[in-house]
Amino acid sequence: MTFEHIKPHLPWMTLLALTAIVGIADTNFLLPANLISMSADIVPLFIMALGMTFAIYIGGIDLSAQSVANMTTVIATVALPTFGLGAAVICILAGLFLGAVSGFVTTRLLVPSFISTLAIGGVAFSTGQYLSGQRALYMDATLRDNSFGWMVGKSFGIPHELFIGGALVLIAIFIQNRTTFGRALKAVGAGEPAAVASGLNVRRIKILAFAISGALAAIAGLLFSVKLSGGSPTIANGFLLPAIVAVLVGGTPLTGGVGGVVNTLIGTLIVAVIRSSMLYFEVDATRQQMVFGIVLIIAIALTIDRSKLRIVK
């Protein structure tokens, strides 16, 4: 039994171990009501991480996710009075478009994704600032409940966010495991030269992966703004690092090709437990990012496939 054998099982083992530790320290933690509300709180982050999974699965990264989410909180709030439910469509299209632009810049202009998405993130952030006039905006409560009330209600004691997250994860699993696109993503992530030499349209696949990432970041932003009943160009700040952590802790390495959607689900739960435990152990909110930064480094160091990286700069 070597480390390589254990590695694929590390994520769920970590999740179980952490849950057990926190559960022993604080018996209230394991109460169903607490677990459910913890999961519901993490759904926007999970959706963003789900999108990020597509970018990382092909060996790229999407640093624009947080800014796109920021932007969509503003778009959703601004568009709600005029378009009602249509605001959601606008948000998703905006995310899809910005993601596609990142993909285009990456594949056509050959700008590495960490920089192209960073740049597009800048564009998204500015757009949010411009549309909001750099202020926090609030949704009208009746308008919000008429159009998006279904997103945040409760049925059978289960918050609707969980249904949304569940539906998205099922769709993502289906795409990943059962469709030609999912197979192509895997091929691009695990061996791009072979994918090219098999006649796959690698460019299109990559652009699509970034577009999906953008769209899911937009959905995350939308849900977030509905939950908080408002939008601001900085409201989702602090999401990016945990989202990347969720993907990597889940076992999808930065080099891509392995892991996937289910891993991100586990990874997000790990992030959720870490977050709750920080509350319990009274770690100051300002230090949370510090913890995630450290966790991120550990996760990358453990998961990265060094045979694919000859030089790290």
Partner 1 sequence: MYELHKVDKKFPGVHALKQVDFSIGRGEIVGLIGENGAGKSTLMKVIYGAYQPDGGSITIDGKTVRFQNPRQAMDHGIGMVFQEQSLITNLTVMENIFLGFEKQFVKFGVVNWTAMADAARKQLAKVKLDIDPATVTAKLSFAQRQLVELAKVLTLEERIDGDLVILLDEPTSVLAKEEVELLFSLVRELTNRASFIFVSHRMDEVLELSDRIYVMKDGEVVDIVSRDNADIDAIQHKMVGRDVDKEYYREQRQKPYRDNESLLKFDGVSLGQRFQDISFDLHAGEVFCLVGTEGSGREAILRTIFGLETPTAGSVTIKGKPIARFDAQSSVALGVGYVPRERKVEGIVGGMNVFENMTLSQMRNYSSYGVLRIAEEKQLARDWIGQLSIKTPSEFKDCGGLSGGNQQKVVLAKWRSGGSDIMMLDHPTRGLDIGAKEDVYDMVREMSDAGVGIILVADTLEEAIGLSHTILVLKDGRAQQRFECAPGAKPTLYDLVHYMI
CB of 30 to partner 1, least distance (A): 37
- Cα–Cα dist 129/235, whole Å: 11
Q: Coil, strand or helix: which one is 158?
A: strand
Residue from 200, 279, 300, 302 touching partner 1 (CB under 8 A): that is 200
Q: Which positions from 249 to 278 touch partner 1 by CB under 8 A, shown as an x/- string?
A: --------xx--------------------
Is residue 149 at the binding interface for partner 1, with CB under 8 A as the rule?
no
Stretch that binds partner 1, among 51-59, 191-199, 208-216, 291-299 (CB under 8 A): 191-199
For residue 251, what are its two tokens? 């076992």
Q: Does 193 bind partner 1 (CB under 8 A)?
A: yes
Cβ distance 268 to 246 under 8 Å?
yes
| Nearer residue to partner 1 within complex by CB, 37 or 177 | 177
Tokens standing for residue 243:
């989202």
Residue 171 CA to residue 215 CA, distance in Å, equals: 14
Q: Closest Cα partner for 292 from 248, 235, 241?
A: 241
Q: Which of 22, 45, 124, 190 binds partner 1 (CB under 8 A)?
A: 190
Q: Candidates 48-56, 121-129, 192-200, 208-216 — which segment interacts with partner 1 by CB under 8 A?
A: 192-200
Quick one: which segment of 132-140, 188-196, 237-245, 294-302 binds partner 1 (CB under 8 A)? 188-196
Q: Does 9 interact with partner 1 (rule: CB under 8 A)?
A: no
Q: How far is 51 from 220, CA to CA, in rounded Å? A: 9
Q: Which is nearer to partner 1, 1 or 197 (CB)?
A: 197
- Give the type of residue at 287: R
Q: Rounded to an integer, what distance in angstroms lies between the CA atom of residue 307 and that of residue 313?
A: 15
Give the total residue count for the chain.
313
Is residue 206 part of the contact set for partner 1 (CB under 8 A)?
A: no
2 binds partner 1 (CB under 8 A): no
Amino acid 155 reads S
Choices 46-54, 88-96, 181-189, 291-299; region in contact with partner 1 by CB under 8 A: 181-189
**Exposed, middle or buried, 244 (CB in 10 Å: 0-12/13-18/19+)?**
buried
Number of residues lying near partner 1 (CB under 8 A)? 21
Structure tokens, 196: 């090219």
Stretch 37-96 residues interacting with partner 1 (CB under 8 A): none
**Cβ at position 211, least distance to partner 1 in Å:** 16
Q: Which among 24-32, 179-187, 260-268, 284-292 is the span making contact with partner 1, rule CB under 8 A?
A: 179-187
For partner 1, the closer CB: 160 or 308: 308
Using rule CB under 8 A, residue 180 touches partner 1: yes
For 154, the 3-state DSSP assignment is strand
Query: Is the backbone of residue 147 left (phi > 0), alpha (psi -120 to 50) or beta?
Result: alpha
State the minimum distance, in angstroms, from the CB of residue 79 to partner 1.
31
Helix (H) or strand (E) holding 131, with range, is: helix 113-132
Identify the H or E element spanning 219: helix 202-228
Pick the closer one to partner 1 by CB: 186 or 275.
Answer: 186
Q: 233 φ, ψ to 5°?
A: -70, 0
Residue 96 neighbours by CB distance under 10 Å: 21
Question: To the nearest whole angstrom, how small is the minimum distance from the Cβ of residue 280 to partner 1?
Answer: 39
Does 173 help bind partner 1 (rule: CB under 8 A)? no
Site for partner 1, rule CB under 8 A: 178-181, 183-184, 186-187, 190-191, 193-201, 257-258
